[in-house]
Amino acid sequence: MLRTPGAAPDLAGLRVDAASGRLLGASQVESPNCDDRPAGLAPELLVVHGISLPPGEFGGPWIDALFTNSLPPDAHPYFAALADLRVSAHLLVRRDGSVVQYVPFHRRAWHAGASQWRGRERCNDFSIGIELEGTDATAYAPAQYRVLARVVAELCRAYPALSADALVGHSDVAPGRKSDPGIAFDWPLLRSFVSYGLEVRPA
C-alpha cells in the first residue's frame, strides 16, 4: 500500500529485531525486489543512498511505488524510463525523519547494483542499503541525520559483523557510476552522531 510521509518516530522506539529482520518503529511496505543472501553471509556493510522522485521533489508516494513495481509511467515524464527497473532498499528515511522498511535485514535488497568494496564485488550480498530522501546538492534534514545515526547504531548492536567503520555512500561502492548521497551529505556529522549513539542508548 502506498503511503505519504507520517510523523517522525521517537528515536527510542527504533529497535532492530534480529529474529525477524525488522526495524521496530518503522512503517512496513513489502518490496518484491529482494532475495536470499548467499549462504553464510550476514550484513557487514552499510550503504547510504540518496533518492527523490521526481528528481528534486520530496514527499508523496513515488518512492514506495518504485520499490513495489507500481510506479505509473504516465504520472511524470521522468517515470517512463524507470518502468522496467527492479530496485529496492532495506530502509528509506524521509525528510521528516519517518522511516519505511521495504526488505528485512537478513534478506538481500537490490540497492547497490554493480559494486565493489575493498576488493569484494556484489555488495548487495553483504550489505544493508539505506535511502535518504534528498539530492546530491540539497542539504539533508537534521531529523534524517538523527534517525540515520540511531538506526546505524541499532544495526551495529544487532549484527556483530557490522561496525560504524563499514559505513559508506553509494558513490564509494560504485564510483563513477553513482554520486549519491552527494556533496551535500555531512559525513562528519553523521559519524559523530553514530559514535555518540553507540555509547549512549536512549531509554
- What are the residue numbers of the active site? 131
Q: What is the CA radius of gyration of the chain?
A: 16
Contact indicator for 160, 137 with CB cutoff of 8 Å: no
Contact indicator for 56, 184 with CB cutoff of 8 Å: no
Q: How buried is residue 156: exposed, middle or buried, by Cβ count under 10 Å (0-12/13-18/19+)?
A: buried
Give me 127's grid cell: 550489505
Task: Return the C-alpha torsion angle 179, 80, 58, 180, nearest 10.
Answer: -10
Integer Cα distance of 9 and 12 in angstroms:
8
Q: According to DSSP H, which parts of the chain are helical?
A: 62-67, 142-158, 170-173, 187-199
Nearest CA to 3 among 72, 80, 74, 94? 94
Give me 57's grid cell: 521533489
